[in-house]
Chain A
């Protein structure tokens, strides 16, 4: 723990008074002292990104002594300009829950026993070696997170892919962002948004596609509302499967039937072409047309495999394809009136209007997630409304560093920090920077997340190290994967900050540093990398996830690849990592710049951030002599894809006649392991529930707060009904937030996924309801 002279003297002053009190008042106690509530006085403020969502708000953490006692928005951060949401404003309290994990634990004779952390790290290293010796290198695995810091993910990838030689590295961002990635890669050949948050203030129209931004990205939504108030001619349209707070604030709310966003997007393109709203100059110079396979399956069986087969088509063939998607035809399947489809099309098609589309989990957690991303990009490409201020198809990120860590460092089975394992040039670069033999890096990807947990269940994987995530709440079709973890001859290591259902299945628990207890970096939705110092000491034996991995790596004999000292390792890791991105298309800012500023966007070229990519005026990586250069594709042209409507993996039928959708609420972050320990947030939203349409509730004979049993082919759960609350689903649909570990809704969901991205669909499966 670092302490300065002044803090030391103040501690001595307090100790003197406490000692004096103890001698005058025998038995006096100060044990329940809640320092955050009573401390005041001199507060030192230090910058950090917020711990929670992918917006990446900058905060200032207020320190009094060695405790974080206050937090406010950082006015120097352009993301939020001093504003925070309810979670951000209470974020520091999440550091101080009563049951914080402070000691390492190892399972001995069936019981978890506290041990020195060095002993736990010895056990982990020995188990990795033993498992590899017995079952081969692909029997060990690492499952990380979009809440990993960038150094966490980097050292995990280096150890497992570079040193141990296995591609069994996945992260929970597979469950939240994989379709966003494959959408970018198939449409543009390169990942991450081309725009930035300044698109909000520049746009005339903003359309949210299946995205409850008012609750999920509230600070960005506040910027949208502020822009509408300031400019007077801004329109916000909410296009969703249920009515939410976003719908209530929007100028127009349009509801669609689950999965039919595919059909509606195609219908919008049909209208754009029919009305000759196509930006022909842009389309001819900067796009090409393609189609892929159809009837591509849903991935519900083990060892499911799919490889798409792109084919070139002509514009005329694309136009013919769209004839199945007239607004009148799409009205019948989507529930969206032809009038509303034409209205949305007219917004996109109006050459005077700048249009930004925002989406997140509604389009990502989708069995055709890659396709729906392609289709929304199609709309922007046909109209040329892309890569200019206010014209932006914007894929928002859920987690604080799904972009910065999982996508940019490449902590997925097929990825490397630059490129993919299948590419020899990319492997050579990794081998050189990591100082490992080229033969160490396996050219064949192994398992995506769902298949990795299936492999653990089958016994193809025997060891899994889980960091900064809670899969025993979040895996779809949860029961199978929990039982898999508990099988004989499986060894599970969990690094976390609080006990969770995932630590319940662990053989070793490592107490992790949390957020500003360690130095680190996050990367947000708009390509902004944000550095934070270690501001508060962690309790007990807590250790940063990065350092845990380094300690294990050294025990495995890889001191040469992990040589850094504890006082310098983050800066050294960053400078090593950024070598992978040394090009105008992806250059990252130096460590010294990141330490000074409240976030820096990449590509960072010649001291300047790139705010709009692929536009020659703003992006130095573009070829000169052209207005746009989609340099992710060999010919510099973006792809317009003919992708059809296909139904969900499991739709309501006679036996299971309701749609089930899952998601979040503003008060809680993910599985609630942090936010449910903040009293104000917990009290504001103490328990999960099932949202029902009032007419469905009346048919069921259920009133607000009464128990409802939700039954699927996978399992069942009893929850309290919420009727006419903050969200109202249409008839035939229910919605359940997943933040409450007392209600494991994923025991009911289905592990179907997009065959291209392998991202599961948490928004659609079939259930029936009973009054309980």
Chain B
């Protein structure tokens, strides 16, 4: 049951869109900065398969510029 956190940067001018897109994804907790175009993302998935699917979804978000992991925990 992996728990990870990331720093996520949006495409130029797409902060709001990216927040909306991330908020709509299950297993995601979204913490946007109020003075920079930066989002803290915390993910909590029930199993490895869901985690893999989630990572694929995140990387394919059009409004996302970059995503960098800052913390990772797995129950195994």
Q: Do A and B come from one complex?
A: yes
Which residues of A come within 8 Å of B, CB atoms?
A: 6, 9-10, 12-14, 16-21, 24-25, 27-33, 35, 38-42, 64-65
Q: Mark B28-45, 1 if CB is under 8 A from A, else 0.
A: 111111111010111110
Q: Is the CB of B55 closer than 8 A to any CB of chain A?
A: no
Q: Are A17 and B34 in contact (CB under 8 A)?
A: no
How far apart sit A12 and B40, CA to CA, in the bound complex (Å)?
12
How far apart sit A30 and B35, CA to CA, in the bound complex (Å)?
8
Q: Are B29 and A17 in contact (CB under 8 A)?
A: no
How far apart sit A32 and B19, CA to CA, in the bound complex (Å)?
15
How far apart sit A147 and B7, CA to CA, in the bound complex (Å)?
44
How far apart sit A519 and B29, CA to CA, in the bound complex (Å)?
27
Chain A residues lying within 8 Å of B42, measured Cβ to Cβ, are 10, 13-14, 17, 41
Q: Is the CB of B47 closer than 8 A to any CB of chain A?
A: no
A217 smallest CB distance to B (angstroms)? 35
Q: Are B30 and A40 in contact (CB under 8 A)?
A: yes
How far apart sit A16 and B73, CA to CA, in the bound complex (Å)?
12
Chain A residues lying within 8 Å of B32, measured Cβ to Cβ, are 30, 33, 38
Chain B residues lying within 8 Å of A12, measured Cβ to Cβ, are 71, 73
B71 smallest CB distance to A (angstroms)? 4
Q: Are B44 and A10 in contact (CB under 8 A)?
A: yes
Q: Are A25 and B29 in contact (CB under 8 A)?
A: no
Q: Are A28 and B71 in contact (CB under 8 A)?
A: no
A34 smallest CB distance to B (angstroms)? 9
Q: Are A13 and B4 in contact (CB under 8 A)?
A: yes
A13-B3, A65-B29 known; A20 and B34 CB under 8 Å? no
How far apart sit A39 and B32, CA to CA, in the bound complex (Å)?
10
Q: Are A38 and B7 in contact (CB under 8 A)?
A: no
Chain B residues lying within 8 Å of A17, measured Cβ to Cβ, are 5-7, 31, 40-42, 70-71
A42 to chain B: closest residue by CB: B44
A321 smallest CB distance to B (angstroms)? 68
Name the residue among A17, A24, A38, A65 with the largest chain B CB count within 10 angstroms: A17
How far apart sit A41 and B22, CA to CA, in the bound complex (Å)?
10
A9-B73, A27-B35, A40-B28 known; A14 and B44 CB under 8 Å? no
A35 to chain B: closest residue by CB: B31
Q: Are A29 and B70 in contact (CB under 8 A)?
A: no
Interface footprint category on B: 20 to 34
Q: Are B70 and A41 in contact (CB under 8 A)?
A: no
Q: Are A30 and B40 in contact (CB under 8 A)?
A: yes
Chain A residues lying within 8 Å of B31, measured Cβ to Cβ, are 14, 17-18, 30, 33, 35, 38
How far apart sit A285 and B63, CA to CA, in the bound complex (Å)?
78
A27-B35, A28-B33, A41-B44 known; A13 and B27 CB under 8 Å? no
Chain A residues lying within 8 Å of B25, measured Cβ to Cβ, are 40
Q: Is the CB of B57 closer than 8 A to any CB of chain A?
A: no
Q: Are A16 and B29 in contact (CB under 8 A)?
A: no
Q: Is the CB of B24 closer than 8 A to any CB of chain A?
A: yes
Q: Is the CB of B23 closer than 8 A to any CB of chain A?
A: yes
B51 smallest CB distance to A (angstroms)? 13
B41 smallest CB distance to A (angstroms)? 7
Chain A residues lying within 8 Å of B48, measured Cβ to Cβ, are none
Q: Are B34 and A32 in contact (CB under 8 A)?
A: yes
Contact of B28 among A16, A35, A41 (CB under 8 A): A41
A9-B73, A20-B7, A27-B35 known; A14 and B40 CB under 8 Å? yes
How far apart sit A65 and B31, CA to CA, in the bound complex (Å)?
13
Q: Are A28 and B3 in contact (CB under 8 A)?
A: no
B68 to chain A: closest residue by CB: A20
A9-B73, A29-B35, A38-B23 known; A21 and B30 CB under 8 Å? no
Interchain residue pairs with CB less than 8 A apart (27): A6-B3, A9-B3, A10-B42, A13-B5, A13-B42, A13-B70, A14-B42, A17-B6, A17-B42, A20-B7, A21-B7, A21-B33, A21-B38, A28-B33, A29-B36, A30-B31, A30-B33, A30-B40, A32-B34, A33-B34, A38-B19, A38-B23, A39-B23, A40-B23, A40-B24, A64-B29, A65-B29
How far apart sit A33 and B6, CA to CA, in the bound complex (Å)?
17
- Nearest first, the 8 A-B pairs at minimum CB distance are A16-B71, A13-B5, A17-B5, A32-B34, A17-B40, A13-B71, A17-B70, A20-B70
Name the residue among B30, B36, B42 with the largest chain A CB count within 10 angstroms: B42
Chain A residues lying within 8 Å of B27, measured Cβ to Cβ, are 41-42
Q: Are A31 and B34 in contact (CB under 8 A)?
A: yes
Chain A residues lying within 8 Å of B4, measured Cβ to Cβ, are 13
Chain A residues lying within 8 Å of B33, measured Cβ to Cβ, are 21, 25, 28-30
Chain A residues lying within 8 Å of B71, measured Cβ to Cβ, are 12-13, 16-17
Contact of A40 among B3, B7, B29 (CB under 8 A): B29
B10 smallest CB distance to A (angstroms)? 14
A26 to chain B: closest residue by CB: B36
How far apart sit A38 and B16, CA to CA, in the bound complex (Å)?
11
Contact of B35 among A14, A28, A42 (CB under 8 A): A28
A39 to chain B: closest residue by CB: B29
Chain B residues lying within 8 Å of A32, measured Cβ to Cβ, are 34
How far apart sit A28 and B39, CA to CA, in the bound complex (Å)?
11
B55 smallest CB distance to A (angstroms)? 15
B9 smallest CB distance to A (angstroms)? 10
Q: Are B26 and A41 in contact (CB under 8 A)?
A: yes
- Could you list 16 further interchain pairs (A-B, Cβ under 8 angstroms) beyond the known A13-B5, A17-B70, A39-B23? A9-B3, A14-B31, A17-B6, A17-B31, A17-B42, A20-B68, A21-B38, A29-B35, A33-B34, A38-B23, A40-B26, A41-B27, A41-B42, A41-B44, A42-B27, A65-B29
A44 smallest CB distance to B (angstroms)? 12
Q: Are B34 and A29 in contact (CB under 8 A)?
A: yes
Chain A residues lying within 8 Å of B34, measured Cβ to Cβ, are 29-33
Q: Are B29 and A10 in contact (CB under 8 A)?
A: yes
How far apart sit A30 and B70, CA to CA, in the bound complex (Å)?
17
How far apart sit A16 and B3, CA to CA, in the bound complex (Å)?
12
Chain B residues lying within 8 Å of A9, measured Cβ to Cβ, are 3, 73
How far apart sit A28 and B37, CA to CA, in the bound complex (Å)?
10
How far apart sit A29 and B73, CA to CA, in the bound complex (Å)?
25
B64 smallest CB distance to A (angstroms)? 15
How far apart sit A321 and B35, CA to CA, in the bound complex (Å)?
77
B1 to chain A: closest residue by CB: A6
B73 to chain A: closest residue by CB: A9
Q: Are A18 and B40 in contact (CB under 8 A)?
A: yes
A26 smallest CB distance to B (angstroms)? 10
How far apart sit A42 and B1, CA to CA, in the bound complex (Å)?
12
A31 to chain B: closest residue by CB: B34
Chain B residues lying within 8 Å of A24, measured Cβ to Cβ, are 7
A24 smallest CB distance to B (angstroms)? 7
